[in-house]
Structure 1
C-alpha cells in the first residue's frame, strides 16, 4: 500500500510560537515536487508531542493539501490509549489516509499491553496503520512475533522499522513474507534496508535534500546499486544528523542552510548554538559544496 520516500515532515513555527502555515505549505510542496510519495505529519521530527491535538490536525490538513492523491498520514503517539484512540478518530474524520502508531512513548508497555494498545487505536481510527517499531527511541520493541500476532487485522499494513538493527528487516520478511510493507525509519540505514528488501523510506534529511533522497530510492528500485551507493556515501554525514537526541534541531538547521527555512522549535527544545551549531553547519555546507550530479533518468 505504501512505498517510496515518505518524509516525516518538520512542523514550522512563527516567531510567537504558533503554526507557520505558509512556510509548511512551501516546504511540503518542495518535497512533493521532488518526487516524494507521501507525507507523515507530527512524528518525532515533527515535534508531535509538543503540539495539541487541534494543531496536529492542522498540520495533517497541510500535508493532505500538498500530497493530493498520494497518502498523508498522522502520527499517533500518546501516553494513554484513551487519548490515542480519540486522536485516531479525529484523524479519520479529518481525511487522513492512514495512521503511523507509536506504542506509548512514556509507559514502557509489556508485550500483551503493546498489542492491545495497537489494536485499540487501529479499531478506533479504522484506517490503514503503519506500526512504528523504535526500541531505541521509545524503548518498546514491536518484534516480528508481535507483528505476526497483529497480522490477523487487515488494518495493519506497514512497518516503520527503526530497531537500528539491519538484520531485523530480513527477519520480518523471513517470518511474514510480504504481509507488511516494510519501510526503513533510520536515515543512515536507508541504503542498507532498501537493498535488503524494504519498499520505502520514512526519511528525515529528505526535508532539506528531497531530490537526493528520492534519487537513492529510484536507483535502488531500478537495480542501479552502484549509482545509489555513490549518492549514499556522499549523503551519509548528513544522514547521521537524524540519529541523535538533537535530530529535530539538527535537521531544521539543515533546512535553514539548504532551503532557506527557519529552525524555530517548541520548548523545552532550543535551536542549536555555539560549537554544536558550528559543527552541524560545517557538515551541511561541506555536503552542499560536494553535492553529486544526480542522474536524469
Structure 2
C-alpha cells in the first residue's frame, strides 16, 4: 500500500489514560472505528494527534499499534511536526521501523516561512532516512510553504509523492493546477472539503474526518460520482462541526467530540486544557446539527435497490511494465454516470493492471447489488482471454483470470466488450493518474493490448 496518499485519511487522536500515558487499547479501538467507517487511510501523530508533544518512543508505539491493528486493511502513515531536520530524520527512522506505509511531515514551524532550499534538504534527508513515500503536510498557518517551494521539493525529491494543503483554498487550487497531475494533492480544509473535492483534490487529511469519518467519506464519494445535491447536503451538516472544532484548543475539542460519541480517548495532554463550557456547548450543538447528537455518527441513508445492470469502462496502466501501476474505472447505470474510481495497484505489468481493473469493477458491481454487468475495455488480450478465444499462458495472469471468472459467475448476465482506445479515454486518464499516485510516470511502454 505504500505511496497511496489518496482518499479520506483520518488523522488519529492520541488517547491518554488518567496518568497521561499512551493508551494503546483505546488507540487500537479508534483504528477499528475508523476502518469500519470506510476511511482510506490513517495518519498517526501530527497536529490532531498532539504529535509535537509526543516523545519519539511514544510515536513509535502509536505507529506500531496502529499498523498492527489495521492489518493491511488501510495504509497507516506516520505524521510528524518536527522543528529540525535532525528531529525529522529520527522520526522517519522510527516510523519506518514501526511498519508504516508512508510519512506525512510538516515543514518546520518557525515563526517565519521556511526557505525553499532548506525545505529541499529537509525532505531529501527525511526520504533518504526512511526510503518511504513522503507527503508534505503544509498546514501550519503561520509558516506555510509557498507553492513554488513545494514545487521545488517535488522536483528534487522523487519520494515526495503528495502534499496536504490546509488553511488556504486559493493555495490548494494553485497546487492542483500546477502539481495535480504529478502528485496527490489532499485538502486539509475542514470547512471547505466540498469545494476542495470539486476542484479536484484527491482526498483529504482533516480533523473532521476523525470526528465524523463516515460522513466525510460519503461527501468524497458523492462528489466523485457527480451527486452534487447530496454532497451539498452533507457539506451543510459538516460545516458547523468544522467550525466548532477549529482554532485554539483543537485537540481537546476533537477528543470531547469523540467522547460524546462513546469513543473513549481521554483528555488532551497538559498544558492543553479541557474545553471550556462554551466550547463544549458549541461542539454539542454542531454534532446535533450533523445528526450525531444521539451519541454516534449518523448512519448513511438506506441504499436504494441495486441497479439491474451496470456498465463499466475500465483500464489499467503500468510505468515500466512491470512497474508502478494503476487502474481506472467509470460506471454507468441507465445511461447515467454513477461513479468513478482510481487506485494504485503496486508493481505490476500492464496486462496485470488490466485484469485488476476488470476484477475491481466486478467487485463494485456486486457491492451495488447489480444482477447484470457489462465491462468495456480496450485491451484485446484480456478481452479475448476472458471470452475464451485466447489461452492464458502467463502464470501471473492465470490467478487473476480465475478470479475474474469466479466473480463473473455470480451475475445473472456478464458481458465483456472491446472498445477503441478513444472510447475509453476517461478510464485511461484515471489509470494514468493512479500510476502517478503510486510513484510511476505514465506514458511508458504498456505491453500487449
SS at match of 2:261: helix
After TM superposition, list the pairs within 5 Å mapping 1:245-260 onto structure 2: 245-260=248-263
How far, CA to CA, are the matches of 1:201 and 1:52 in structure 2?
26
How far, CA to CA, are the matches of 1:275 and 1:33 in structure 2?
32
CA deviation after TM superposition for structure 1 residue 135, in Å: 4.2
Q: Which has the higher helix share?
A: 1
How far, CA to CA, are the matches of 1:217 and 1:65 in structure 2?
27
Q: Which runs of 5+ in 2 are unaligned?
A: 304-367, 369-449
Which residue in 2 is equivalent to 1:294? 301
The Cα RMSD (Å) is 2.0
Question: Are the equivalent residues in 2 in contact too, given 1:130–1:159 (CA < 8 A)?
Answer: yes
Q: Which has the higher strand share?
A: 2
Q: Which runs of 5+ in 1 are unaligned?
A: none
Which residue in 1 is equivalent to 2:126? 121
How far, CA to CA, are the matches of 2:245 and 2:180 in structure 1?
29
Question: Are the equivalent residues in 2 in contact too, given 1:9–1:39 (CA < 8 A)?
Answer: yes
Q: Deviations over 1:71-94 (max 9, x none)?
A: 111112212211211121121122
How far, CA to CA, are the matches of 2:230 and 2:254 in structure 1?
25
After TM superposition, list the pairs within 5 Å mapping 1:63-212 onto structure 2: 63-69=66-72, 70-106=74-110, 108=112, 109-136=114-141, 139-152=142-155, 153-162=157-166, 164-212=167-215
How far, CA to CA, are the matches of 1:279 and 1:267 in structure 2?
22
2:232 corresponds, among 222, 226, 229, to 229
2:53 corresponds, among 50, 61, 65, to 50
CA deviation after TM superposition for structure 1 residue 257, in Å: 0.8
What is the aligned residue count? 294
> Higher relative CO (CA 8 A, sep ≥ 6), structure 1 or 2?
1
Which residue in 1 is equivalent to 2:217? 214
TM-score between the two structures when normalised by the length of structure 2: 0.62
Q: Deviations over 1:183-226 (max 9, x none)?
A: 10121111111110001111212323221111111111211111
CA deviation after TM superposition for structure 1 residue 228, in Å: 1.1
TM-score between the two structures when normalised by the length of structure 1: 0.92
Please say which structure displays the higher CA radius of gyration.
2
Question: Are the equivalent residues in 2 in contact too, given 1:184–1:193 (CA < 8 A)?
Answer: yes
2:42 corresponds, among 39, 46, 70, to 39
How far, CA to CA, are the matches of 2:245 and 2:119 in structure 1?
26
Structure 1 residues 80 and 151: CA distance shift in structure 2, 3 A: closer
